[in-house]
Chains A and B, each alone.
Chain A
């Protein structure tokens, strides 16, 4: 048996959580240490994963080219006359689509753990929940069995509810329950589609119904259930249900209203996790589940998806521009930037898709950094009002440096990573639909507008006298959390090909797979 690296990545935080729970709650330093070491080791394993990953293997729908496969029977119920066989597997594997997300999750978790040191209210509970959340996120990106995927997907909800609800800002209760209800409403739709797919799919090897997503991607395995007729109305509704489930997570307008509340009320580290990893689950789910399992509707709904992308970009940017609260501004900018991901994947070509996945990774790092920066300022000034600041540049030069890196990356300045992914997105989208792509570039202008304006309001001008003595520059601990992100942003901006190489094979395969399957189903529909 090979080394179970994905299981370790996924369940290491649970081990950390158990240790945290066993430690006396007074020993906060030890608890923090456990969390940082756990997530640090996770990063080490993620680095090992990068080293061992073979970027020539496509994965997506082929089990033979998935990597680090761990597959065991979990629940097997033999056939009874009227139920068929139940087959649920513990099936973890990654490919070029999930690999960047796994690395991102490990990285962001570590950085968020470091950034959580400023938490001093029930530290034990905080880190226990934090580590549980980490397991949920990692599991979502590693799971290939849909049942397992769903368990991890839902596992995150409760810790997130408590992390926002207990350690959040003044309106935390409202934000926490809103997040919980929105996400659950999405995931129950996912649950229904999952059950439907289960009854439709037969594992060719065993003849049993299966939750294996790879088996679901092959039309010939779809035998008798409700989703078996390619192109049928019920499959369209399933695609729409899945879209809503994932769109809530992304969030796509008009399902986005939980996000500004949750981001603003959550403590800094949790905003980092939310923006850095959780939002990616939505787009990841679309690429992992919606596109390959319902390819005909991925193509059919290509244009609407693109328009959703456009709306997200422009609407998010306009809302960001109107904000007076620093954190809320970053929250809306997230909506805008996730719009690029949607736009890129709707392009359904390899450039757009690569841009989308790369943008998922870059947005993870850039927005994480932005939220950390907001946190730095808030920890000192205890306010986030943009109009209350000015002239911070002189007072906190190192802080200003990091801010410049993050802001310009968010704007999409060449030589920073955000530029590369946005360029790919536009490159791909332009080939598919010129009109909406050109309109979407408006987002770049607006992005530059609100970012530069924010920079001007906070860092330029004269420092109000009330901040004279309360704004020391960033501490070494804050640098530990900011510097790796800045380094990655610059590195991938200058030399993106290492990262791109990991994903292009898989994404190229995904695009061709979706297109050929969709064409095949078109031919099938014509023939009927």
Chain B
């Protein structure tokens, strides 16, 4: 079918629904000032419509809007992921006492959630450097605002400011890198760039090669910032700690996923030889990008895990832990074979349940006792048995012990790496897992092994809604640890990407 604007729009319905949600939410916010939660309901409804429209778009692979956006099973997976995460975050936001207390115009908050989600769905499909940039900027600007949304809280404003500065610098770098690539290749379309490289023009030597290297490294810096890979991670702990916890969870899960979607597409489509069925996709173009990514992966997981050991604020600890998880996820990109990418997707599903569960508990506890400090979790297991068990399960899942979803995610991910020439990377990763146990177990220790500092062992009573939510997150964590057949099938079916020559 020839590609036209109208056929493209027909294939763009979920994104359009999200865009319209954003507009509707803004109008709502003007029309019914002060009824912010109503705006939230509108956003929720809009997300539901977008989700409902998802099955009606073709799975592709197809190009839409002249190849600006790729429609393929890979992007469909991430769109589902992002929209579902958006729905969960909106539901969390309704429950958050922090937002009720410190965020005066909550309606605007929901507007930006819609914009952020829209941006992330664009990131999932962006197949053109320009589109990648626009999508990342849309996500970035929305998240700067959201990170500082509780502006009466000092650390939140500080977080937003740091985030803006880092974001501005890295997107500037990325844009410059893109311009260099454009100058060399004569195109911004990933597929075209692949063709140029594959035809083996004189790019692999001399100044052209150096320029290409600089360009790609600059782009890598921008993407690395998005997924908080070391050494582009410095914003992460401060922003995660300062932002409202719902936003922290959103950034840690959905924004990271969208970042990975772009990163994977960028490397596999541009640099990797897609027509091999080998267990590792080698990069052509003269640079061993697999190795570069492997180094990035090792640095990210090691730094994340080791610094997390020293954290006493749980939000900050989860921030470093999410850096470490980005390192594990990068292993899948290093291998970059179909099984590696499928493993990344599966890991994201598990990560969704364990990480959102953990952030939710931290949020609920902070609302209740007003602290995220590890010492205030002393005796928590006895004071709130159900939520305590839930938190313990989420932490175990994050460590990756069976029988939890986190284990299955790690198993499949390590499998992809063991089955490739990067066996050493798997060894580093499993040793990192042992380090990570230490800081997750520190929380367990405080919850169960220690008595509260002030001797207050009165039960903490959570609202039934909170307990139910925690249980709803426990179930998939255990279930997918024991039975993961459908998930593996789904992720395996979702690796197909819009490829050169397709």
Q: Which residues of A contact B (CB under 8 A)?
A: 74-77, 80-83, 86, 122, 150-151, 154-155, 157-158, 161-162, 165-166, 172-173, 176-177, 180-181, 184-185, 188-189, 191-192, 195-196, 198-199, 225-226
Contacts and interface: CB of A to CB of B under 8 A. Distances in A.
Interface string B419-434: 1000100110011011
Interface stretch (B97-105, B172-180, B336-344): B336-344
Nearest to A76: B485
Contact of B430 (A74, A82, A191, A199): A191
Interface in B333-382: 337-339, 342, 382
30 contacts: A77-B488, A77-B492, A80-B338, A82-B277, A83-B338, A83-B339, A83-B492, A151-B402, A151-B403, A154-B401, A154-B407, A155-B402, A155-B403, A157-B401, A158-B401, A162-B449, A165-B445, A165-B448, A165-B449, A172-B449, A176-B445, A176-B449, A177-B445, A180-B441, A181-B434, A181-B438, A192-B430, A195-B414, A195-B415, A195-B426
A192 B431 contact: no
A196 B485 contact: no
A242 B434 CA distance: 16
Contact of A225 (B338, B401, B419, B430): B419
Contact of B485 (A77, A81, A122, A151): A77
B30 interface: no
Contacts of A166: 448-449
B459 to A, nearest CB: 13
Interface string B313-337: 0000000000000000000000001
A157 B485 CA distance: 26
B411 interface: yes
Nearest to A75: B485
Q: Is the interface of A mostly helix, strand, loop or mixed?
A: helix
A376 to B, nearest CB: 26
Interface in B402-419: 402-403, 407, 411, 414-415, 418-419
Contacts of B448: 162, 165-166
Contacts of B35: none
B479 to A, nearest CB: 13
A188 B431 contact: yes
B441 A161 contact: yes
B339 A226 contact: no
A82 B339 contact: yes
Contacts of B411: 191, 195
B427 A181 contact: no
Contacts of A195: 411, 414-415, 418-419, 426
A157 B483 CA distance: 21
A161 B342 CA distance: 34
A177 B441 contact: yes
Nearest to A172: B449
Given A173-B445, A191-B411, A180 B403 contact: no
Contacts of A86: 488
Given A86-B488, A154-B402, A195-B411, A177 B430 contact: no
B484 interface: yes
B201 interface: no
B451 to A, nearest CB: 11
Contacts of B401: 154, 157-158, 184
Contacts, number: 91
Given A82-B339, A195-B414, A188 B402 contact: no
A210 to B, nearest CB: 13
Contacts of B484: 75
A184 B400 CA distance: 11
B489 interface: yes
A195 B483 CA distance: 18
Nearest to A82: B338
A227 B489 CA distance: 27
Nearest to A167: B449
Contacts of A76: 485
Nearest to A25: B385
A226 B418 contact: yes
A128 to B, nearest CB: 10
A54 B273 CA distance: 57
B356 to A, nearest CB: 22
B212 to A, nearest CB: 29
B437 interface: yes
A80 B492 contact: yes
Contacts of A185: 431, 434
Contacts of B252: none
A219 B492 CA distance: 30
A166 B337 CA distance: 45
A77 B449 contact: no
B396 interface: yes
**A83, A157, A176, A198 — which one has the most chain B CB atoms within 10 A of its CB?**
A83
* Pairs of residues from A and B, 6 with the lowest C-beta to C-beta distance, nearest first: A188-B430, A151-B402, A195-B418, A82-B338, A165-B449, A185-B434
Contacts of A191: 411, 414, 430
A165 B414 CA distance: 30
B50 to A, nearest CB: 29
Contact of B337 (A82, A176, A192): A82
Nearest to B339: A83
Contacts of B433: 184, 188
A73 to B, nearest CB: 10
Contact of A192 (B338, B426, B444, B483): B426
Nearest to A152: B402
A184 B492 CA distance: 30
A177 B427 contact: no
Given A76-B485, A198-B415, A173 B339 contact: no
Contacts of B430: 188-189, 191-192
B402 A150 contact: yes
Nearest to B415: A195
A199 B402 contact: no
A155 B478 CA distance: 12
Nearest to B442: A177
B483 A199 contact: no
B408 to A, nearest CB: 10
Given A155-B403, A225-B419, 17 more contacts: A76-B485, A77-B485, A77-B492, A81-B277, A82-B277, A82-B337, A83-B492, A161-B444, A172-B449, A177-B445, A184-B437, A191-B411, A192-B418, A195-B418, A199-B415, A226-B418, A226-B419
Contacts of B402: 150-151, 154-155
A464 to B, nearest CB: 34
Contacts of B415: 195, 198-199
B485 A192 contact: no
A162 B382 CA distance: 13
Nearest to A77: B488
B347 to A, nearest CB: 15
A180 B418 contact: no
A165 B445 CA distance: 8
Interface in B428-464: 430-431, 433-434, 437-438, 441, 444-445, 448-450
Contacts of A82: 277, 337-339
Contacts of A181: 434, 437-438
B448 to A, nearest CB: 6
Contacts of A150: 402
Nearest to A200: B419
Nearest to A191: B430
A419 B414 CA distance: 46
Nearest to B444: A161
**A77, A82, A158 — which one has the most chain B CB atoms within 10 A of its CB?**
A82
B499 to A, nearest CB: 14
Contacts of A173: 445, 449-450
Contacts of B342: 83
B427 A158 contact: no
A181 B492 CA distance: 34
A140 to B, nearest CB: 12
B336 to A, nearest CB: 12
A1 B131 CA distance: 60
B455 to A, nearest CB: 16
